Chain A
Amino acid sequence: MCLGIPGKVIEVRDEGGLAMGRVDFGGVRKDACLAYVPEVKVGDYVIVHVGFAISMVDEDEALRTLELLDQMGDLLQQELATMGPGMTEPAVVDLGPAAAGAPS
């Protein structure tokens, strides 16, 4: 149950005791309930599902994921560079620990 999409909190307010906010999803703005992300501030990103923010997006972690993927891409390039004509597989490239995923 999954259609939670990330958006940027642009306004925070209280509605009869309930923390509500306006969230911008890449140009679409909609209200969402912020009760479950009490530490949120304007400018933070949250994941919104059925009108409720259920989690904040950790920007550092998001960047780290992409960096790891890019490293993998670079290594792919290296591998491809080791392929000569007539080869169907690259020569073995030492990927080292940097290619490991992000364990908890």
Chain B
Amino acid sequence: MKYVDEYRDAARAKALVREIRRIATRPWTMMEVCGGQTHTIVKQGIDEMLPDGVRMIHGPGCPVCVTPLEQVDKALAIAADPAVIFTSYGDMLRVPGSTTDLLSLKARGADVRIVYSPLDALRIAREHPDRQVVFFAIGFETTAPANAMAVWRAAEQGIDNFSVLVSHVLVPPAMEAILSSPSNQVQSFLAAGHVCAVMGWTEYEPLAARYHVPIVVTGFEPLDLLEGILMAIRQLEEGRAEVENQYVRAVRREGNRMAQETIFRVFDVGDRTWRGIGQIPASGYHLKERFQRFDAEHRFRVGDIATREHPACIAGEILQGTKTPLDCTAYGVLCNPQRPLGAPMVSAEGTCAAFHAAGRGLGPVARPLTVLAPVGTPGAGR
């Protein structure tokens, strides 16, 4: 595949690893805030090849993982309604809510459908005028242009049986929350390449300056990540704190203006609760007042949902990078991809799932997987 295979070349990868080892003279702590990058780093063992002392903390970059529990529970409440066709990206189906998950609901007869694009959900709404079609609009800024366009078109074409359950989260406020925390250890960030393809990187410049951290806009292929890490370490070694762009083939400083315009025609910035982290001000998108009739939270009386996280799940600390799955008593024993207690084990990009898939911390033991649910396990099942 063009523009993919070249960035997976082993010889170039080894050259980059070699160069990273050559220039790093002391310990450094970096964080990536992108599930796709976490996935590649763990799968390719990139973090294991870094020099001693240089470590990657996997930040809250998996939008599936950080979707607030309330939103998941609202999705479940709406999907259980027999009048509803509930549409969602595939990743969300296994995320445990307080008591169950979308896939289990589907097993019980709810009309839950996976779609590849929000436009597919809109098409389903057009094809089933007698049903309510709800789309679970989650994601970082990368999916916002798509979700915004779906709402815009629904309004334009009067597709009134369509609505969206919004749960967008934004990267820069999360970075700031991490940087301003008294226990912060992160000295440099890799910024998510496709978030920046949409939004540009101007929002990161004040962060780099204020907190004196290098920020490197990075792609997703192994060579991209290695080069991004190299650029970050180079800055750290030289005492610089700038925003640099590794992903030059897809990202420009101003981002995609047209996409941004559509986003802000449809969404306002507002506060958002991040699962496992808590509320971060001005860290999410909500539908603008004039599009509120497409807001599923208004259309369906989902009311007060009493959320309940599994007590053994340390997702919050995982997502903030203060603990790793290896620090979790439930990891690999009570919690695994078949029986996830929290979101980072569900999504393929979640840190716990990535670790588990790579066998980290699982040791040469027979896999102790059971079909029966331990007491109090919310959701589960893949």
Residue numbers of A with Cβ under 8 A of B are 1-6, 8, 16-18, 25-26, 33, 35-38, 45, 47, 49-52, 54-59, 61-62, 64-66, 69-70, 72-73, 75-76, 79, 99-104
Query: Could you say which residues of chain A place their CB within 8 Å of the CB of B15?
Result: 69, 72-73, 75-76
Q: How far is the CA of A69 from the CA of B231 in the complex (A)?
A: 12
Q: Can you name the residue of chain B whose Cβ is closest to the Cβ of A72?
A: B15
Most chain A CB within a 10 A radius of its CB, from B14, B140, B141, B145: B145
B143 contacts partner chain A, Cβ-Cβ < 8 Å: yes
Query: Could you say which residues of chain A place their CB within 8 Å of the CB of B220?
Result: 2, 4
Q: Can you name the residue of chain B whose Cβ is closest to the Cβ of A30?
A: B116
Minimum C-beta distance from B381 to chain A (A) = 23
Could you count the A-B residue pairs with CB atoms below 8 Å apart for me: how many are there?
A: 160
Would B249 and A58 count as touching, CB distance under 8 A? Answer: yes
Query: Could you say which residues of chain B place their CB within 8 Å of the CB of A59?
Result: 249
Minimum C-beta distance from A1 to chain B (A) = 4
Q: How far is the CA of A26 from the CA of B2 in the complex (A)?
A: 7
Q: How far is the CA of A69 from the CA of B7 in the complex (A)?
A: 10
Q: How far is the CA of A23 from the CA of B98 in the complex (A)?
A: 40
Query: Could you say which residues of chain A place their CB within 8 Å of the CB of B198?
Result: 54-55
A-B contact pairs, 30 of them (CB 8 A): A1-B36, A2-B36, A2-B37, A6-B2, A26-B2, A26-B4, A33-B149, A47-B197, A49-B146, A50-B117, A51-B117, A51-B118, A51-B120, A52-B117, A52-B145, A54-B194, A54-B197, A55-B194, A55-B251, A62-B6, A62-B248, A69-B223, A72-B12, A72-B16, A73-B11, A75-B15, A99-B19, A100-B234, A101-B227, A104-B244
Chain B: interface residue count, which band? 35 or more
B230 contacts partner chain A, Cβ-Cβ < 8 Å: yes
Query: Could you say which residues of chain A place their CB within 8 Å of the CB of B18?
Result: 76, 79
> Interface-forming stretch among B47-55, B252-260, B350-358?
B252-260
Would B1 and A6 count as touching, CB distance under 8 A? Answer: yes
Q: How far is the CA of A65 from the CA of B223 in the complex (A)?
A: 10
Q: How far is the CA of A67 from the CA of B218 in the complex (A)?
A: 17
Would B142 and A69 count as touching, CB distance under 8 A? Answer: no
Q: Can you name the residue of chain A whose Cβ is closest to the Cβ of B141?
A: A1
Would B193 and A2 count as touching, CB distance under 8 A? Answer: yes
Q: Can you name the residue of chain A whose Cβ is closest to the Cβ of B3?
A: A6
Would B194 and A51 count as touching, CB distance under 8 A? Answer: no
Would A65 and B248 count as touching, CB distance under 8 A? Answer: yes
Q: Can you name the residue of chain B whose Cβ is closest to the Cβ of A63?
A: B249
Q: How far is the CA of A72 from the CA of B16 in the complex (A)?
A: 7
Minimum C-beta distance from B217 to chain A (A) = 8
Most chain B CB within a 10 A radius of its CB, from A16, A50, A79: A50
Partner of A61, one of B2, B244, B248: B248
